[in-house]
Structure 1
Amino acid sequence: MSFPPLDTALPAGVDAREHALMLRRMHDASVSGRPVPGARLRPVIEDSWNRMRRFGIDPDAGPPTRVISPDELHRRRQESPIAEVLPLIRRSLVSVADEADHIMLVTDASGQVLWRDGSHRIRTIGDRVGLVEGAYWNEGSTGTNAIGTALVVGRPVQVYSAEHFVRSLHSLTCACAPVHDPRDGRLLGAVDVTGPVATVHPSTLALVSAVAQLAEAHLQSIHHTHLERLRAVSAPLLAGVRERALVVDETGWTAAVANMEPVRRVLLPKHRESGTAWLPALGECSLEPLPGGWLVRPRSGEDAAPSTVTLDLSGPAPAVTVEGSSGSWAHRPTPRHAELLLLLAVNRSGRTAAQLSHDVFGAVGHVVTVRAELSRLRRHLGGLVESRPYRFSEDVVVRIVLPEFPPDVLPGSDAPGVRELRSRMGSSDRLIPLGVEFAT
């Protein structure tokens, strides 16, 4: 697998001290409303600063630090999926951070610091600026910083010196990479390394990014082990089943099937119980609980579709909720699937593969990739998304929940079609299509 090049804060061959001075001149000019002299900010920083202005963040003071109680911190640590891979993260980063005069931080998806390790001297500095366990370090709480900005854009980010919007953070350099659930792309949190501004180095971002990918791979391995265990437990049961059936784990991932084509994953109702439910990929099904999962039996000819699909873009990660007479189901789309769902939602008459290729990649030469992504998406949302052209079914109401600032819709997306939508949503003309509801 190939990964895009990392956007490091320090350009190659540039003197770090001179670059920091230039950034401070740019910061002073920007916050005072004067034209910014010299080179432009990196796009990821410029976009973040624009968000800070809309949030009303004071660059001279910043918001007061919000810290939760020790009991609440303990509860959130226990609930975090990252806790399963914390020993691996610590082995990979703590000794390096300590020797390099850095601290390592692990956050949840909201940017709240759950764990902190590393240099005692830098932990003391962190105490002074509120970089402590239990504190929120999303952009709305602390301004532009590697943790908050990486969680917004969904990719590794390094922030150096005066790229921080709040002046009290100009003495720091930090590199952060988000950690996603490998099963469904859901944002779980982030891994960050922070140190004094003099210690900036491009390799820090590469290291943090590699550790985040290692953590995701380990989570994937844990999931495969669980499915293997569930497959072994359910084998005697499926051996005696004559009709179509499948065994899935608590999150809908398939462990085993009988008398039917495999389905990688099904969306289970939010509130699961024995009985009958409509499942997007299978239609009407009966559900029976198993240790660690569910036995699902599809029923032929009973596939009435639900009435409402909600694409929630207001939080740190997109979410899809499907609602109907048999209950409701939740799904975390990948960033690419979120782009496609948004584009289909605002084009209810449909888009061809070539049109979506242009919307997502800026050219029509990626039709095969678009079709493959939509095939995966339709396996999750069967009956809701149709083809030829690709579109939401006519009898489905699509509801889009926008963030507080509509131009921040999918801020990590570079897709031309999404950028155009952000521009339109920033004006008074939203061009709301028939059958689509917007909410904030």
Structure 2
Amino acid sequence: MVDVARISAMDAREAARLLKGVRAAALAGDRPPAAPRPEIAASWRRMMAQGVHPDRDARSRMLSAAETEERRQVSALREVLPVLREGLLPALDEALHIMVVADAEGRLLWREGHRSILRKADRLGFSVGADWGERVVGTNGVGTALVARRPVQVFSAEHFVSSHHEWTCAGAPVRDPRDGRLLGVIDVSGPLATMHPATLAWVTSVARLAERELRIRHLESLERLRTVASPLLARLPGRALAVDPHGWTAAVAGVAPAERIPLPRGFGPGRTWVPPLGDCTVEPLPGGWLLRIAEDRADAPATRLVLDLSRNGSWSATVYGAAGSWSHELSPRHAELLFLLVESPRGRSAAELSAELFGDPTRTVTVRAEMSRVRRHLAGVLTHRPYRFAQDVEVELIRPQDAGALLPHSTAPAVLRARLGRPGPGMVP
């Protein structure tokens, strides 16, 4: 079998000849001079089964700058970029390597490192917005690590597609510690002459540091939820608990504490059956949910949201439930968005909100990014696809007494019409 330490000790050209011989024999069905490593052999079998051409460099459609930015905004890997940069960048220039961060679909979202290597990567199509899934470019440190779900190093002709044989790469997946979901891959790549067997261990260690940072952030968010929920639970009769959006428990009252509650699909405010707990009434909290375990079948008071736009420059959303209330101060943009959703009870797509905010339906990246931010505070109240208030939430809008004083900063076409008493399509008159 191909030995990593052995080929790393070879001259780059000698190592490339050996690996090309192994690949050629595998493609021809002959006995190779050395067996490919198991993870490489498994990837080659997938490539042949999927019809990837071994000598033709395929390219998929590049993401536009707007599409790339949209993916960056919603990627949890964005939160750990400082950890990745600190762990990898200082050594990349000397090692003639680059760092690449890809999402769970293999799309490259960030890329940094040695300038000359970045230019070489451009010629290979290894650039931001590109798709480096196995099904497109064959065996590689990004796509193969995504399929294998573990760290992978690929040397020279271990790449299935021959145009990549001048490269070596090492990729390690990063998982969300909250639910185990695969977030993407951290990859370090460079010319074949710079290969080193320790690179994979280095990249894997930095990926684990990134996961540790995500775990710390999660614990901090649970502590914030606990700070909000504990006073509510202390005043609430009966059994209840507060959980984050992934079901991790922040505080309990009258029940045995469990580390995590598996939340059912479509979980949201209202009456819901939660398998470990039974019938529960669910209310939104900042950063999570309040679950009140039903003691009888009587209907609980509905969740109510009051959007107060009556005071210029001091707009707020206040959520009322059986356990109490909490408020969130709104930025000018978030006040506009929530106003549009109140006026459109059936909901709005990103393109429709973009047209109503900017008069331009193409500015969906900005809308999605802003909606992502406001939903961090109102996750239990707002839903998406389309964006709207949750079905079981009663919404009240408090307007200024003077209609012309409605969101005076706003130039949004929909707000301008509302000041004149002219609702737009799908708006409440």
TM category, shorter = 0.5 to 0.7
Match of 1:89 among 84, 88, 100: 84
Query: Paired residue for 1:61?
Result: 56
* 1:213 alignment partner in structure 2: 208
**Matched AA of 1:282:** L
Question: Aligned ranges for residues 128-167 of structure 1 at < 5 Å?
Answer: 128-167=123-162
Uncovered stretches (5+) of structure 2, i.e. residues with no partner: 298-429
The 1:110/1:16 distance shift into structure 2, 3 A limit, reads farther
TM-score, scaled relative to structure 1: 0.64
Distance 2:208 2:26 in 1: 35
Task: Give the letter aligned to residue 21 of structure 1.
Answer: R
Rounded Cα–Cα distance in structure 1 between residues aligned with 2:90 and 2:100: 13
Distance in 2, matches of 1:14 and 1:34, equals: 28
Matches within 5 A, 1:27-42: 27-31=23-27, 33-42=28-37
Which structure 2 residues correspond to residues 15-414 of structure 1 after superposition, within 5 A? 15-17=10-12, 18-31=14-27, 33-299=28-294
CA distance in structure 1 between the aligned counterparts of 2:104 and 2:5, rounded to whole angstroms:
27
Specify the code of the residue in structure 2 equivalent to 1:89.
L
**Counterpart contact for 2:150–2:173, Cα < 8 Å:** yes
> Does the Cα contact within 8 Å between 1:247 and 1:296 map onto a contact in 2?
yes
Query: TM-score, structure 2 length as denominator?
Result: 0.66
What is the alpha-carbon distance in structure 1 between the residues aligned to residue 54 and residue 41 of structure 2? 14
Q: Specify the code of the residue in structure 2 equivalent to 1:23.
A: L
- 3-state SS in 2 of match to 1:146: coil
Q: Distance in 2 between matches of 1:273 and 1:179?
A: 28
Match of 2:352 in 1: none
Alpha carbons of structure 1 residues 71 and 8: separation in structure 2 relative to 1, 3 Å = farther
CA distance in 1, matches of 2:21, 2:268: 60
Q: 1:65 to 1:97 in 2, by over 3 A?
A: farther
Q: 1:71 to 1:13 in 2, by over 3 A?
A: closer
Q: Which has the larger radius of gyration?
A: 2
Shift of 1:14: 4.5
Indicate if the aligned counterparts of 1:62 and 1:143 stay in contact, CA closer than 8 A. no
Q: Distance in 1 between matches of 2:225 and 2:260?
A: 15
* Residue 261 (structure 1) shift: 0.7
CA-based RMSD of the aligned residues comes to: 1.9
Cα shift readout 1:174-212 (whole Å, capped 9, x = no counterpart): 001000011121100010000000111011111100000
- Measured in 1, the distance between the counterparts of 2:177 and 2:44 equals 30
User: Once the two structures are superposed, what CA deviation does each residue of 1:3-56 show, in whole Å capped at 9, x if it has no partner?
Assistant: xxxx9844488425333211101212222x240322100000000000000110
Please state how far the C-alpha of 1:282 moved relative to its aligned partner. 1.9
3-state DSSP of counterpart to 2:144: helix
Q: 2:172 and 2:66 mapped to 1: Cα distance?
A: 27
Give the share of equivalent positions with the same residue, in percent.
50
What stretches of structure 1 of length at least 5 have no aligned partner?
1-6, 303-440
Asked whether the 8 Å contact 2:26–2:32 carries over to 1, the reply is no
- C-alpha distance in structure 1 between counterparts of 2:296 and 2:108, whole Å: 50
For residue 301 of structure 1, report the CA deviation from its aligned partner.
8.9
Secondary structure in 1 aligned to 2:120?
Answer: helix
The SS at the match of 1:202 is coil
What amino acid sits opposite 1:67 in the alignment? M
Q: Counterparts of 1:300 and 1:11 in 2: how far apart (Å)?
A: 68
* d(CA) in 1 for partners of 2:64, 2:138: 22
CA distance in 2, matches of 1:150, 1:13: 20
Aligned equivalents of 2:275, 2:49: Cα separation in 1: 39
**Alpha-carbon deviations, 1:99-132, whole Å to 9, x = none?**
2111100010111100000011111111111100
Equivalenced residues, count: 295
Contact 2:8–2:195 under 8 Å retained in 1: no
What is the Cα deviation at residue 273 of structure 1? 3.3
